Amino acid sequence: MALTGIQIFKLLPKTNCKECGVPTCLAFAMNLASGKAELDSCPYVSDEAREKLAEASAPPIRPVKLGKGVRQTTTGGETVLYRHEKTFFNPTILAGTVASDIAAADLEQKLKIYNAFQYERVGLNLRPELLVVKDAGAGADAFAATAKCIAETSEFNLVLMTEDLDVMKAGIAAAGFKRPLLYAATEANVDDMGALAKENDLPLAVKADSIDALMPLTEKLTGMGLKDLVIDSGAREIKQALEDQVGIRRAALKAGNKALGFPTITFPCEMASNLDMETVIAAMFVAKYGGIVVMSDFAAESLFPLLLERLNIFTDPQRPMTVTEGIFEIGNPDENSPVVVTTNFALTYFIVSGEIEGSKVPCWLLIKDSEGLSVLTAWAAGKFGGDDVGMFVKKCGIMDKVKHTELIIPGYAAAIAGDVEEELPGWTITVGPREAAHLPAFLKTK
């Protein structure tokens, strides 16, 4: 539970030394309570107070850091049930599975293929982040060798999946440096697995066969001092799995249930018999609260739709993704190159600039601030009208860069052509195609 300003004030030094930037400790406490200040701004809080404050301000669902390196991620840390209430913070992590007995050459080949599954979109790199090394009963050495190869030769982070303590130890020895998730502590091995995770300071997944059975296990583990837990309610049937995901999320956010305040791990790979069906089940978990989604395999056709869905669901609904207003040079344009205008919605920019690049026709792309709205939306909302587009073209400085006087506007904005013309006397306003996909052919005729 969050503390009030007065409760926080009681934990501060009360010297009013002003180093935090406000005149009194009380003022600072008030700012902390309302989220306007960071505790670190006061150099004098005692460790004890710091711990109390951290505990009290701990998020209802623990953010758990997984892995190391460029594909390091965090799961959990969510604060709402519905994305429109604020936003979802940490995108569902996508994991593939590798059996511990895979032949070295096959693994190398597989990693090469998996590594290529990366997609640029709206300035982001979309890609999966985890591989599960699944104990296939081939012994500790095979398990360690597979984990080591993935950890050392790929960017992927790992889940070490075995309930055998010795096998897990071997896996940790080989790949522990990459902060793998250990899967899993169960009722049968909870003490030993807990100790192992603690000793190596690694995140630990907890598996039970119901939410009911899960709670005593997480309580025991937090009692041992473990914080970074990931939970699996054991449901492998879709209907129950959805109920559990919703139940866990609500318990943490609405009922303050600390025993369930952790991200979840889910297994479409154990819920379907083919990758297509796994993919649609994974789609459910991306929307409804899966922290980690484990697939049996990765294929471009199944990953790409899930990555798009994830991008959409985890976009901040309060701030459309935008690019800055201005002139973008695509492919070294010169004074005769076409001038194209569109809005500053990141998706629109991404699509249009991609098509222009693909056309190999160097262009000046003018991005007009339209508050992050797409062409039609911006036009309908009055943020991409003829007057403002014309004014913007005048002011942005493009006239010093080109000798010609032709402006290409989006096909969907054909209605503004007349007004732009009025604002830009002497210019020819050319209405481009509606879909950006037709831009290359169009530009080539220029």
Partner 1 sequence: MGFELTKESYAGGIKAVTIGKGDNALTIGGQTCYPFYQFEGEMPGKPIIAMEIWDMEPEEWPAAAMAPFKDVLGDPVAWAKKCIDDFGAQLIVLQLKSIDPNDKDRSPEDAAALVKKVVDAIDVPLIVWGCASPAKDEDVLKAVAEACQGENLILGPVEEKNHKGIGAAAMGYGHAIISSSPIDVNLAKQVNILLENLGIPLDKVLVDPTTGGLGYGLEYTYSVMERLSMAAMAQGDDKLQNPMINNLANEVWKCKEVKQTAEEAPELGDPERRGILMEAVGAVSYFMAGSDIMIMRHPEAIKLAKAFVDLICD
Residue 348 engages ligand B12 in binding (rule: CB under 6 A) = yes
| Residue window 377-416: x/- pattern of binding to ligand B12, with contact defined by CB under 6 A | x-xxx--------------------------xxxxx----
Residue 44 engages ligand SF4 in binding (rule: CB under 6 A) = yes
Residue 422 engages ligand B12 in binding (rule: CB under 6 A) = no
Element (H, E) at 230: strand 229-232
Residue 277 engages partner 1 in binding (rule: CB under 8 A) = yes
Distance CA 441, CA 446 (A): 9
Other CB atoms within 10 Å distance of the CB of residue 11: 21
396 belongs to an annotated ligand binding site: no
Among 2, 56, 224, 380, binds partner 1 (CB under 8 A): 380
SS3 329: strand
- Residue 17 partner contact from partner 1, ligand B12, ligand SF4, none using kind-dependent CB cut-offs of 5 to 8 Å: ligand SF4
Q: Cα-Cα-Cα-Cα dihedral of 61, 67, 73, 76, to 10°?
A: -10
374 belongs to an annotated ligand binding site: yes
What is the DSSP code string of 50-116? HHHHHHHT--SS--EEE--GGG-EEE-----SSGGGS---SPPEEEEEEETT--HHHHHHHHHHHHT
SS3 302: helix
Among 2, 10, 15, 360, binds ligand SF4 (CB under 6 A): 15
Strands (E), 240-356: 265-266, 292-294, 326-330, 339-343
Residue 418 engages ligand SF4 in binding (rule: CB under 6 A) = no
Among 311, 389, 420, 443, binds partner 1 (CB under 8 A): 311
- C-alpha dihedral sign at 241, 242, 247, 253: positive
Among 40, 47, 212, 400, binds partner 1 (CB under 8 A): 212
* Shortest CB 48 distance to ligand SF4, Å: 15
- Find the part of the chain contacting ligand B12 (CB under 6 A) among 4-12, 79-87, 146-154, 344-352: 344-352
Residues 309, 291 contacting (CB under 8 angstroms) = no
Residue 345 engages ligand B12 in binding (rule: CB under 6 A) = yes
Element (H, E) at 165: helix 165-175
* Shortest CB 39 distance to ligand SF4, Å: 9
Among 133, 168, 175, 211, binds partner 1 (CB under 8 A): 211
Residue 17 engages ligand SF4 in binding (rule: CB under 6 A) = yes
Residue 243 engages partner 1 in binding (rule: CB under 8 A) = yes
In angstroms, the first-to-last Cα distance of the chain is: 63
237 secondary structure, DSSP code: S
| Residue window 19-38: x/- pattern of binding to ligand SF4, with contact defined by CB under 6 A | xx----x--x----------
Reported residue count of the chain is 446
Binding residues for 5-methoxybenzimidazolylcob(I)amide: 342, 348, 372-375, 436
Interface residues with ligand SF4 (CB under 6 A) are: 12-13, 15-20, 25, 28, 42, 44
Binding residues for [4Fe-4S] cluster: 17, 20, 25, 42
